[in-house]
Amino acid sequence: MTALHEARLQPDVYDDDDILLPLLEHAPHAALRLPDGRAMAWAEYGSSRGLPCVLVPDTGSSRLAPGWLLHDSALPAAIRLLAIDRPGIGASDPIGFGGTEQPAEDLRRLVETLAVGRVAVIGIGRGADDAFAFAARYPTLVSSVSAVSVRLPGTERSRRSLRHPIRAPRASWSGPLACWVQTAGRDADLTLEWTWRRMIDRLPQTAAEVLGDRWMESDFREAVAADAALINPAWTAPARAGEIPTWALDPAAVRVPVEVWHGKHESGTTLAAVEEFAGGLPGWTVRPAAGSSAVLGAWTDILAGAARGFAATN
């Protein structure tokens, strides 16, 4: 990675002796065997002695997502970040036809196998659905949930109508990486500046605002390309496009502290809709990000918030 931010994180969490650790260009990874025989892969970033945080990437992203998500940032020494490959992505086996996704059980097996005790769970986009499912089923294993750029179903309706949906939600934006890859075109070389110059004017406005000028830096392009290369077009896991996640129907079932990080111009779900949804829910806090999206640019605060969750539960 290039130059690292030296700004201190929350003083009540990190002291003056803390250091910031650069991300490894290719983080070491391993896999564990799930009860149904599938392999689930994960990569580790930061300090092996740090506070354990599990990162659940958005659909269309992998365990290598921190390489571009935390671009020009660094992990504090107090954080151990474990990023997973969702089923059928990277080195994780697909579920296959006839199978069902069980994200809460997969994450439970990860936490118990690694013997890390309680974890802070960070979910991005659709990854937040899995983070909430895990926290709702196994609250004793979760110190907090950080939901980044969530996508609410039927955001034109109120929370009350979410409990009584009239129709299936419309398909929504599947996150910045998927949008960049789709716009660049099949087999495009995402490491090349020319590829990005060609696609920048074709991006939807919000996707372009999220991207900013990061594409001009070679290490960012290489990190995006590495993540995109792990996406398997033959993924056979069942699609969940028409389902309303349980946490949106019954948010009170999530009985751990929740911080929802949301930008001012997220695609699919507005900041106002998130604030309306979370308003009045005990333990839920909405954290507006400074930029268009919380996906890029807010990670210093997101990680500090995850670390605060450990202090609050101890």
Write down the pLDDT at residue 170: 39
Write down the pLDDT at residue 10: 35
Write down the pLDDT at residue 287: 96
CA distance 139 to 253: 10
Tokens of 268: 């699919």
Predicted confidence (pLDDT) per residue in 9-61, tens digit: 333 343 434 445 555 545 667 899 998 889 999 999 988 889 999 999 998 89
- What is the pLDDT of the chain when averaged over all its residues? 82
Q: Evaluate if residue 217 carries a pLDDT over 60.
A: yes
Query: Considering only 3-12, 54-63, 66-75, 164-173, which range has the smallest mean pLDDT?
Result: 3-12
Tokens of 232: 């398997």
Write down the pLDDT at residue 309: 80
Helix (H, G, I), strand (E, B) or coil at 114: helix
Q: Is residue 44 part of a domain?
A: yes
Predicted confidence (pLDDT) per residue in 99-146, tens digit: 778 999 999 999 999 888 899 999 999 999 999 999 999 999 999 999
Q: Is residue 2 part of a domain?
A: no
Partners of 160 in beta bridges = none
Predicted confidence (pLDDT) per residue in 178-192, tens digit: 888 889 988 899 999
Q: Is residue 228 part of a domain?
A: no
Q: Is residue 219 part of a domain?
A: no
Q: Evaluate if residue 264 carries a pLDDT over 90.
A: no
The count of domains in the chain is: 1
List the domain range (segments joined by +) for residue 54.
20-170+234-313
Q: What b-and-e string marks burial along 93-113, b requiring 16 or more CB atoms within 10 Å of the CB?
A: bbbeeeeebbbbbbbebbbee
Query: Considering only 25-34, 66-75, 222-231, which range has the smallest mean pLDDT?
Result: 25-34
Q: What count of residues does the chain have?
A: 314
Q: Is residue 48 part of a domain?
A: yes
CA distance 97 to 233: 15
Write down the pLDDT at residue 103: 93
Q: Is residue 147 part of a domain?
A: yes
CATH number of residue 56's parent domain: 3.40.50.1820
The residue whose two tokens read 């499912």 is 133
Q: Is residue 73 part of a domain?
A: yes
Q: How many CA atoms lie within 13 A of 268 on its CB side?
A: 19
Q: Evaluate if residue 244 carries a pLDDT over 70.
A: yes
Write down the pLDDT at residue 135: 97
CB 165 within 8 Å of CB 154? yes
Q: What integer is the mean pLDDT of 259-275?
A: 90
Q: Is residue 257 part of a domain?
A: yes
CA distance 179 to 201: 13
